[in-house]
């Protein structure tokens, strides 16, 4: 019972922090407008660890690698802690277990990224129907544009209905299935 509570708290707290770091990374990557409440919140929540990490982890080709590496480390801590609380013995093969935890952390980052894009596209669709002039609309448009533009160039609107979000959501679902399979393969390396 205590282990389940600790796992839940760890996944919730570190998971939300990892999500904040990933959103900050993607907001910078996709050049989401800096002066909106969500971007300001993400910066305020993560700045205490991102600024010192930038001294150690340099950027790469304009990417804020320190933020991405910190999100990956948070996911690695979550995965490792869950295994520890479940009684997994890392002492038998520490090198393999460490590598597997790093890979599982990467798989989790990819999965969270897919869910972020999925949520942003659904939120954008809902807001475009309910209140297209919402303050969130520019943020969502900037974030989803790179994903939707691939299909918008090839598939014209049908009766003024843009089907590109549907195709992106289908591809995300397929990718989530692939990620789940990769997760099981990586996890089987521990056996």
184 by Cβ neighbours in 10 Å (0-12 / 13-18 / 19+) ranks as exposed
Series of mean pLDDT values for 10-residue runs along the chain (191 residues)? 86 95 93 86 93 90 90 95 83 82 95 96 91 87 92 87 91 97 90 71
Q: DSSP for 42-76?
A: HHHHHHHHHHHHHHHS--BTTB-HHHHHHHHHHHH
CA distance 42 to 34: 10
Question: What SS3 state is found at 161?
Answer: strand
Q: How far is CA 191 from CA 2, 78, 102, 114, in A?
A: 26, 20, 16, 28
- In this structure, the number of other CB atoms found within 10 A of the CB of residue 111 comes to 17
* pTM score, whole prediction: 0.90
Provide the pLDDT for residue 120: 95
Tokens 């591809």 — which residue?
A: 171
CA distance 63 to 7: 32
Find, among 123, 96, 11, 108, the residue nearest to 68 by Cα.
108
Strand partners, 63: 60
């Amino acid at each position: 019972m205590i282990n389940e509570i600790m796992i839940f708290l760890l996944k919730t707290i570190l998971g939300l922090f990892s999500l904040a770091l990933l959103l900050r990374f993607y907001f910078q990557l996709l050049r989401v407008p800096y002066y909106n409440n969500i971007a300001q919140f993400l910066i305020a929540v993560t700045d205490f660890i991102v600024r010192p990490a930038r001294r150690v982890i340099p950027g790469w080709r304009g990417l804020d690698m320190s933020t991405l590496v910190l999100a990956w480390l948070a996911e690695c801590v979550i995965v490792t802690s869950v295994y520890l609380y479940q009684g997994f013995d890392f002492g038998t093969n520490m090198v393999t277990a460490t590598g597997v935890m790093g890979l599982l952390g990467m798989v989790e980052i990819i999965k969270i990224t897919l869910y972020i894009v999925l949520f942003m596209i659904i939120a954008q669709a809902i807001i475009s129907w309910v209140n297209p002039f919402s303050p969130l609309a520019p943020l969502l448009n900037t974030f989803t544009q790179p994903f939707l533009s691939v299909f918008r160039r090839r598939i014209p609107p049908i009766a003024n209905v843009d089907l590109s979000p549907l195709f992106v959501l289908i591809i995300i679902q397929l990718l989530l299935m692939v990620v789940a399979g990769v997760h099981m393969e990586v996890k089987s390396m521990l056996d």
